[in-house]
């Protein structure tokens, strides 16, 4: 669920004052991750690489409290759960959006991921959990290797967003460059940096 909170009494009071009405309050970080563990688990267990990435993103985010708040429509909202979004190619060759509620249990998350991405692909209808969850957007451009991407700021969607392309192999290890865009009202650079550090750690723990 979500509820409105008073920015003045929150830890984001100054950020809300400084950045809510800024012309472009979004910040983008780039980071190259060692995803060797994910590639190996994906091949060994037959799990989708992007699902494993989404799960690690969720695990890295839930321990950073700033992920549970988000500026929405000029207000500051607080959530009690997090979902990870993935872009799905539907049966017509177009794309739809699919939100997956994060679960710390990899098997449970994988089951939900496969179930709902299949439903979205078949129905050509988005699955939106944003009314109840703080949603982390992701987009995987797996047809090519990219060095980074900056998302467009529409002024409507303030959610954090992660983009990646195809991973690269170098000296028997695999690397993936990602871009992480976030609204400065939601978090500062230090929080974003901690999240990215958490993400690498969660990837390394994958077995």
What is the CATH number for 93? 3.30.559.10
> CB count, 10 Å around CB of 105?
10
The answer to whether position 12 is within a domain reads no
Alpha helices in the chain (DSSP H): 13-19, 36-45, 49-61, 106-123, 189-205
pTM > 0.75: yes
The answer to whether position 156 is within a domain reads yes
Report which of 59, 67, 13, 95 is spatially closest to residue 183, judged by C-alpha positions: 67
* Polymer length of the chain: 207
**Number of independent structural domains in the chain:** 1
For 105-161, what is each residue's pLDDT tens digit?
A: 999 999 999 999 999 999 999 999 999 999 999 999 988 888 888 877 777 789 999
Q: How far apart are CA 20 and CA 125, in angstroms?
A: 31
Q: What is the pLDDT of residue 183?
A: 97
The answer to whether position 160 is within a domain reads yes
In the structure encoding, which two tokens stand for residue 174, read together? 């695999």
Report which of 60, 92, 101 is spatially closest to residue 187, judged by C-alpha positions: 60
Q: How far apart are CA 94 and CA 12, in angstroms?
A: 38
Report which of 181, 194, 199 is spatially closest to residue 25, judged by C-alpha positions: 181
Report which of 136, 140, 191, 187 is spatially closest to residue 163, judged by C-alpha positions: 140
Q: What is the pLDDT of residue 157?
A: 86
Helix, coil or strand: residue 48: coil
Q: What is the pLDDT of residue 148?
A: 80
Q: What is the pLDDT of residue 153?
A: 75
The answer to whether position 36 is within a domain reads yes
The answer to whether position 193 is within a domain reads yes
The answer to whether position 21 is within a domain reads no
In the structure encoding, which two tokens stand for residue 17, read together? 């004052």
> Which parts of the chain sit beneath pLDDT 50?
none
Alpha helices in 82-186 (DSSP H): 106-123
In the structure encoding, which two tokens stand for residue 69, read together? 């708040």
Domain containing residue 191: 2-7+26-205
The answer to whether position 20 is within a domain reads no
The answer to whether position 13 is within a domain reads no
């Amino acid at each position: 669920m979500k509820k409105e909170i008073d920015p003045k009494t929150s830890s984001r009071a100054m950020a809300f004052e400084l950045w809510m009405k800024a012309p472009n309050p979004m910040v983008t970080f780039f980071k190259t991750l060692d995803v060797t563990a994910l590639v190996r688990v994906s091949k060994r267990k037959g799990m989708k690489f992007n699902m494993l990435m989404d799960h690690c993103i969720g695990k890295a985010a839930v321990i950073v409290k700033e992920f549970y708040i988000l500026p929405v429509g000029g207000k500051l909202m607080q959530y009690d759960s997090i979902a990870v979004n993935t872009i799905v190619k539907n049966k017509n060759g177009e794309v739809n959006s699919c939100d997956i509620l994060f679960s710390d249990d990899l098997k449970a998350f994988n089951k939900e991921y496969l179930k709902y991405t299949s439903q979205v692909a078949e129905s050509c209808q988005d699955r939106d959990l944003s009314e109840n969850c703080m949603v982390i957007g992701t987009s995987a451009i797996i047809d090519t290797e990219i060095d980074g991407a900056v998302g467009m700021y529409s002024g409507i969607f303030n959610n954090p967003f992660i983009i990646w392309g195809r991973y690269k192999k170098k000296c028997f290890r695999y690397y993936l460059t990602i871009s992480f865009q976030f609204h400065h009202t939601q978090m500062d650079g230090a929080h974003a940096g901690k999240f990215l550090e958490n993400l690498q750690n969660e990837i390394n723990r994958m077995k």
